[in-house]
Structure formats: C-alpha cells, structure tokens
Amino acid sequence: MMDIKSKNLLDRPRRLRQNMTLRKMVSENHFHLDEFIYPMFVIDGNKIKNEIPSMPGIYQWSIDMIVSEIDAIINMGISKILLFGVPENKDEQGSATWSDDGIIQKTVRKLKHEFPELYIISDVCFCGYTDHGHCGVLQDGDLHNDMTLSNVSKQVLSHVSAGVDMVAPSLMIDGMVGEIRSTLDGNGFSQIPIMSYSVKYASSFYGPFREAVDSSPKIGDRKTYQMDPANRREALKEVELDLMEGADIIMVKPALSYLDIIRDIKQICNVPIACYNVSGEYSMVKASANKGWLDHDEVMVEMLLSMKRAGADIIISYFAKDIAKILRDSHGIR
Ligand code: PBG
C-alpha cells in the first residue's frame, strides 16, 4: 500500500484540473446543438398557447401560434423538432392519426411551407388519439399487435405524404419497424429514415407528458408492450430485431435511469443512438430548481453530459432551448 505521506505519488491527476483552460482542453464531452432534437406539442384550435403545468416552459401550441415559436427556435440554432399532436376528437382506433386533416398533417404542411429548412420528425403512435389511451387497437383489454400494425402503416404514409422528414414509431409493438420500412419503400418513400423507439421502458417518468397530450391509459397500463425496467439483456434483443427490420437510428427511452442500456447498445451497434430525456426528467429539474433546491443549469448540464458519456449521439430533450442559450453565452462550447 502507498504511504499517504509519501511524496512519490504515482500520478497527480489534479495537474490537469488546475484551471478552466486546462479543464476545457481535456474535456471528453462537449455539446453541440446539432445533436439535439426539440419535442413540441401541437393542438387543434386557434390562439392556443397552453403551458403544461408540470413542464414549465413547454406549451401546447395551436398551428397559428406555433409559427412564431418555430421562428424563434430556428434563430436559436435548433434545426430539428419531434412533433406530437393533440387531436380534437379521439376514437377507438385513433383514426385521426391517418386523416389528411389530422393535427400533425395540417401542422407539417404549414411548417414546411413557412420553414422549408426545418427538419420535422413525427412521433408515430396512437395513445393520444384513442379513447382508451392505449397505443393501438385493443382486443380483450390488451393491445392487438397485428391489427395495430396495419394502422401504423396508414399513419406513417399519411405523415410522410404531408411532408414529415423522419418517422419515430413509439408504440413498442412487435414488427413495427419492418412494417413501416416496407410501407415506405413500397410507396416511393425509401429516403425517409426511421428512428425507432427500440428500447422503451414502461416508465412512470412519462407522467408529465401524458398530461401534455392526455394519453394515460383509461384501463390497465402499458406493461404488455413497453419493457420491464428490470431488464437489460432484453434491450439487446429489441435492438437486434429493429436493426434487422431496418431501423436507421435506435432510441433508448427514458434516458437518465437507463444509461447502462445506452452504453450496452453502443457496444453492439453501428447506427446512431438517440436517447429521450423524457418529461419526468425535465420536470424534476424544473420543480426542484424552482424551489431553490438545485441549480437548474448545472444539474441540467450534468444530466445531459451523463447521456453523452454513456454513448448517446442524439439527445431528444425539452431542455434544447436552455442548452441553446448556454451554448450561445459560452460561444458554442460547453
Ligand atoms: C407515445 C409517447 C410517450 C412518450 C413519447 N411518445 C408516452 C408513453 O409511452 O406513454 C413520452 C415522452 C415523455 O415523457 O417526454 N407513446
């Protein structure tokens, strides 16, 4: 054992921590706005800008109101959004998801017209559009896998026909990526990438989001389709299947409690890995900062750095605007 009084320490790692210049030079991870995707909620109606109570700073926007917000985020350097719709009417199958007049379709046409350079990714799911709140077609109280698959195809085709640049299926049903890939390829959309919510856990961190889109299941829960938080090996199986089916980007969700999963996947796959810094992770920081219990920016940066360290190439985060401000104030480097 080393004598703590000995001057012959093996090394002095503190040498490289002496000042900011040195620390910055040896920093292993930096943020760049290009790797952030900003999730946004659009709602049917006019003149609506509803703050989501559990997500301060995040709003439901009506189409007329979202335009100036998009203008603002583009000016901040944010180039990609992940779009969620809050429809006027729900039904058993969530048919508003494939309506030409659906909230996503109308929003995308408007935004593509106003901001051709904005990159729009659509969340592909049914939970906000079904009257029972589950992510597809229900049969005997459970999600019916294969009947849901054919509705997914209709939804995806409708989204890309309206102008969506990338689709992000989040339903966690078996075969969804393969189904979507063949639908896209068979209809002249072979250039549209799929970012799959490959490893999506049945998580209570989605609580605030479900308030934002009113998508909580009215009966039961999502445990028959989303993954058990206890499982690690199973994540690899989901990823292998999605890669075989043609996923271009693999996503892990939530992020913060699943950094080990991001790391595991990084080691086995050669496609970009996204993580979703979900609503509950955002709300925790906002709430405690609001009480003065935590430093907002420091905690946010530390959280997001942990995702980068774990191996995430892309971060989907409600903090994207906060990060944009920090990067601007620190001349692009953090
Ligand atoms: C839709 C979907 C959910 C989220 C993204 N897409 C909720 C869920 O599965 O219940 C959660 C996002 C967040 O919490 O920020 N299925």
What residue has token string 């907002």?
A: 296
The pLDDT value recorded for residue 214 is 84
Nearest C-alpha to atom 2 of ligand 1 is from which residue?
170
The pLDDT value recorded for residue 1 is 56
Q: Are strands 249-253 and 195-200 parallel, antiparallel or unpaired?
A: parallel
Q: Which region among 73-77, 141-145, 166-170 has the lowest average model confidence (pLDDT)?
A: 141-145
Q: Is residue 268 part of a domain?
A: yes
Nearest C-alpha to atom 8 of ligand 1 is from which residue?
206
What residue has token string 């889109």?
A: 213
**Res. 6 pLDDT band, cuts 50 70 90:** low
pTM: 0.95
Nearest C-alpha to atom 11 of ligand 1 is from which residue?
206
Q: Provide mean pLDDT across the span 210-222.
A: 86
Mutation to probe ligand 1, out of 37, 84, 130, 170 (largest number of atoms < 8 A from CB): 170
Q: Closest by alpha carbon to 278, among 188, 200, 225? A: 200
For 102, half-sphere exposure in the C-beta direction (CA atoms, 13 angstrom radius) is 29
Q: Which residue has the higher pLDDT, 141 or 239?
A: 239
Q: What is the CATH number of the domain that holds 132?
A: 3.20.20.70
Nearest C-alpha to atom 5 of ligand 1 is from which residue?
170
Q: Which region among 7-11, 108-112, 157-161, 315-319 has the lowest average model confidence (pLDDT)?
A: 7-11
Q: Is residue 4 part of a domain?
A: no
Q: Is residue 189 part of a domain?
A: yes
**Res. 216 pLDDT band, cuts 50 70 90:** confident
Q: Provide mean pLDDT across the span 73-77.
A: 97
Active site residues: 200, 253
Q: Is the pLDDT of residue 322 over 90?
A: yes
The pLDDT value recorded for residue 41 is 97
The pLDDT value recorded for residue 256 is 98
Domain count, the chain: 1
| Alpha helices in 34-138, H assignment, sequence order | 63-76, 103-114
Q: pLDDT of 84-111, one tens digit each?
A: 999 999 999 999 999 999 999 999 999 9
How many CB atoms neighbour CB 290 within 10 A? Answer: 11
Q: Is residue 89 part of a domain?
A: yes
How many angstroms separate the alpha carbon of residue 196 from the centre of ligand 1? 13
247 Cβ contact partners less than 8 Å away, ≥ 6 residues apart: 177, 194, 195, 196, 198, 271
Whole-angstrom CA distances from 277 to 116, 124, 320 are 27, 18, 10
Q: Is residue 159 part of a domain?
A: yes
Whole-angstrom CA distances from 39 to 183, 249, 251, 277 are 25, 17, 14, 10
Q: Provide mean pLDDT across the span 237-265.
A: 98
Q: Is residue 266 part of a domain?
A: yes
**Res. 212 pLDDT band, cuts 50 70 90:** confident
Q: Is residue 14 part of a domain?
A: no
Residues 241/247/248/251 CA torsion (nearest 10 deg): -80
Query: What residues are paired with 166 via a beta bridge?
Result: 121
> Would the CB of 123 count as within 6 Å of ligand 1?
yes
How many angstroms separate the alpha carbon of residue 213 from the centre of ligand 1? 9
> Would the CB of 278 count as within 6 Å of ligand 1?
yes
Mean pLDDT of the chain: 95
> Would the CB of 319 count as within 6 Å of ligand 1?
no
Give the C-alpha separation, 157 to 96, whole Å. Answer: 13
The pLDDT value recorded for residue 112 is 98
Q: pLDDT of 38-68, one tens digit each?
A: 999 999 999 999 999 999 999 999 999 999 9
**Res. 241 pLDDT band, cuts 50 70 90:** very high
% of the chain at pLDDT higher than 70: 97
Mutation to probe ligand 1, out of 206, 251, 276, 285 (largest number of atoms < 8 A from CB): 206
Per this entry, what is the length of the chain?
A: 334
Q: Is residue 75 part of a domain?
A: yes
- Its domain, for residue 67, covers 29-330
Q: Is the pLDDT of residue 140 over 70?
A: yes
